[in-house]
């Protein structure tokens, strides 16, 4: 505990010492993590966000199968948005929950279904969504329509700089599935540094960080977005979320094979035990926290040197605080949901859970 003498800065990975351990870590010593960002209550409009999500999914005919509904119950998407954006307006939380749901159900499709096993199927699935980012009209499938409508609602009224950033981050996120698949098929193992960069993309962390501005009702100018300190702050926060998720996904990732988990990658590259690799990831998480706090200090200095207005400096501080809240919210989410604390007994046949890209479900409004 050398980082900070204050014991309140240290938190059990399980939330509390008696909490559920990550699936796959039951026989390991669960580490204490350095996280000096205080916990907070979820958004009081959590139940409203759940009702709004149910209505939105039903309106587009998405996630209506028994398997899909079970997956959503295990995931509890509105809980993570209520924890990561606890101060958003209630109607804004509804919208952010829609995007969060996209990231989870797309992850299920590519991690557990056939679209994540075959390069052609993966590329075909991506082609139903990627053109929408460039302004193309969506196809008639429910997934394409829902994706396009959500993107339109999120970008409405936002600055060109924010929209460009968000679209670029979505592209990197979606392409990460194709990149990871080809690495897996060719047994190409990344360096730890390369893996950390890609993991930040593949958990969609940057898109969630982008939405912090919507939650806070701010829109930073490009002069802030291109500061090296601001970029370092985003990178550290995104890498923290990816590495922390790896600890909670260890059992699932080990069962899937490959190395797309920092613990498994370290075991392979350094011939370490699983416990040693878990402890190494914990060290990396502490480094991410220190990088965040250093970048926050540097950001304030760079904004003053740039002659930023008081309003811009206040918005940048609000955004940095939002990143802290986001990281802490992700931390407190994982130990509360079955998705990460218990294996799914029905996940075994390799079929698509949500059938987002299944040909037979693509066309709607054909009359």
pLDDT confidence band for 366 (50 / 70 / 90): very low
**Residue 316 near residue 220 (C-beta atoms within 8 A):** yes
Q: Which long-range contacts (CB under 8 A, 24 or more apart) does 332-335 make?
A: 332/15, 332/39, 332/83, 333/79, 333/80, 333/83, 333/84, 334/22, 334/244, 334/245, 334/248, 335/13, 335/14, 335/15, 335/19, 335/20, 335/248
pTM of the model: 0.93
Q: At what angle do helices 205-216 and 228-248 cross, to 10 degrees?
A: 120
Q: What is the pLDDT of residue 347?
A: 58
pLDDT band per the 50, 70, 90 thresholds, residue 334 = very high
The pLDDT of residue 60 is above 80:
yes
In this prediction, residue 5 carries a pLDDT of: 56
User: How far, in Å, CA of 282 to CA of 32, rounded?
Assistant: 8
127 pLDDT above the threshold of 70: yes
For residue 12, what are the β-bridge partners? 32
Span 76-104, average pLDDT: 97
Alpha-carbon span 128 to 60, nearest angstrom: 16
Taking only the tens place, the pLDDT of each residue in 251-296 is: 888 887 778 899 999 999 999 999 999 999 999 999 999 999 999 9
All domains of the chain in start order, with CATH: 40-71+89-188 (1.10.600.10), 189-340 (1.10.600.10)
pLDDT, residue 6, reads 75
Location of structure tokens 């939650």: 215
pLDDT at 332 over 60: yes
Closest to 72 in 3D by CA, of 47, 55, 53: 53
Number of separate helices (H) and strands (E) present in the chain: 17, 2
**Model confidence pLDDT, tens digit, residues 3-50:** 545 778 999 999 988 899 898 888 899 999 999 999 999 999 999 999
Q: What share of the chain is helix, strand, coil (3-state, %, to 5)?
A: 65, 0, 30
Average pLDDT over residues 202-230: 98
Q: Is the Cβ–Cβ distance between 86 and 40 less than 8 Å?
A: yes
Q: Among 83-97, 100-114, 163-177, 291-305, which is the least confidently predicted range?
A: 100-114
Distances in Å between the Cα of 149 and the Cα atoms of 161, 168, 294 are: 20, 18, 38
pLDDT at 343 (0 to 100) = 83
Whether residue 159 has pLDDT greater than 60: yes
């Amino acid at each position: 505990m050398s980082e900070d003498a204050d014991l309140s800065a240290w938190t059990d990975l399980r939330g509390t010492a008696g909490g559920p351990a990550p699936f796959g870590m039951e026989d390991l010593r669960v580490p204490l993590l350095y996280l000096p960002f205080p916990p907070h209550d979820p958004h009081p409009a959590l139940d409203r966000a759940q009702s709004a999500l149910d209505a939105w999914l039903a309106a587009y005919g998405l996630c209506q199968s028994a398997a899909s509904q079970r997956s959503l119950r295990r995931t509890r998407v509105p809980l993570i948005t209520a924890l990561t954006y606890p101060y958003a307006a209630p109607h804004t939380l509804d919208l952010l929950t829609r995007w969060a749901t996209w990231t989870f159900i797309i992850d299920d499709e590519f991690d557990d279904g056939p679209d994540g096993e075959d390069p052609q199927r993966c590329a075909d699935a991506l082609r139903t969504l990627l053109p929408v980012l460039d302004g193309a009209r969506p196809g008639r499938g429910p997934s394409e329509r829902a994706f396009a409508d959500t993107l339109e609602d999120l970008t409405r009224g936002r600055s060109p700089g924010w929209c460009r950033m968000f679209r670029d981050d979505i592209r990197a996120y979606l392409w990460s599935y194709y990149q990871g698949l080809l690495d897996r098929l060719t047994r190409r193992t990344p360096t730890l540094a390369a893996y950390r960069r890609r993991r930040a993309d593949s958990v969609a962390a940057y898109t969630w960080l982008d939405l912090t501005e919507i939650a806070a009702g701010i829109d930073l100018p490009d002069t802030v977005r291109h500061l090296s300190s601001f970029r370092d702050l985003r990178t550290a926060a995104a890498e923290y979320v990816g590495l922390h998720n790896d600890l909670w996904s260890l059992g699932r990732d080990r069962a899937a094979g490959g190395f797309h988990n920092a613990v498994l990658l370290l075991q392979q590259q350094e011939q370490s035990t699983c416990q040693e690799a878990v402890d190494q990831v914990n060290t990396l998480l502490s480094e991410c926290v220190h990088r965040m706090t250093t970048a926050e200090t540097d950001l304030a200095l760079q904004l003053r040197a740039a002659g930023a207005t008081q309003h811009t400096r206040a918005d940048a501080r609000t955004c940095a605080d939002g990143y802290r809240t986001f990281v802490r919210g992700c931390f407190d989410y994982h130990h509360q949901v079955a998705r990460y604390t218990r294996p799914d007994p029905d996940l075994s046949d390799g079929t698509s859970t949500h059938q987002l890209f299944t040909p037979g479900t693509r066309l709607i409004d054909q009359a």
